[in-house]
Amino acid sequence: METLLIIDFGSQYNQLIARRAREAKVYCEIVPPTVSLKEIRLKNVKGIILSGGPASVYKKDSPQLNPEFLALGVPVLGICYGMQAITHLLGGRVRRARQREYGRAELLLTPRSGKLFHGVAKKSVCWMSHGDYVSAIPAGFYKTAKTSSTHMAGFENPTRRIYGVQFHPEVMHTAFGSRVIRNFLFSICGFRGSWNMKNFIHDTTERIRRQVGKSRVILGLSGGVDSSVAAALLAKSIGRQLVCIFVNNGLLRKNEVEGVRRAFKGRKLDLRVIHAERIFLKKLKGVTDPEQKRRIIGHEFVYVFEREARKIKNAHYLAQGTLYPDVIESRSAFGGPTAVIKTHHNVGGLPEKMDLKLIEPLKELFKDEARALGRALGLPKDLVWRHPFPGPGLAVRILGEITQERLQILREADLRFLEEIKKAGLYGKIWQAFAVLLPIKSVGVMGDERTYENVIALRAVTSVDGMTADWFEIPKKVLAHASNRIINEVKGVNRVVYDISSKPPATIEWE
Amino acid sitting at position 137: I
Please report the beta strands in 110-232, taking only residues with DSSP state E, as ranges in sequence order.
123-136, 142-146, 154-157, 162-165, 216-220
* Residues classed as catalytic: 80, 168, 170
Q: Are 172 and 23 in contact (CB under 8 A)?
A: no
Amino acid sitting at position 133: Y
* Nearest-angstrom CA–CA distance, 395 and 392: 6
Pairing of strands 449-462, 470-471: antiparallel
Continuous H helices in 79-224: 81-89, 177-182, 197-212
* Nearest-angstrom CA–CA distance, 352 and 346: 16
Q: Are 395 and 346 in contact (CB under 8 A)?
A: no
Spell 365-388 as b/e; 16+ CB within 10 A means b: bbeebbbbbbebbebeeebbebbe
Bridge partners, residue 106, by sequence: 125
Spell 284-320 as b/e; 16+ CB within 10 A means b: beebeebeebbebbbebbbebbeebbeeeeebebbbb
* Nearest-angstrom CA–CA distance, 483 and 495: 8
Return phi, psi of residue 107, to 5°.
-95, 130
- CA angle at residue 310 from 307 to 312, to 5 degrees? 125
* Nearest-angstrom CA–CA distance, 5 and 29: 5
Amino acid sitting at position 334: F
Return phi, psi of residue 450, to 5°.
-75, 135
Q: Are 181 and 139 in contact (CB under 8 A)?
A: no
Of 80, 50, 57, nearest in space to 166 by CA: 80
Residue 425: count other Cβ atoms within 10 Å of its Cβ.
9
Q: Are 380 and 259 in contact (CB under 8 A)?
A: no
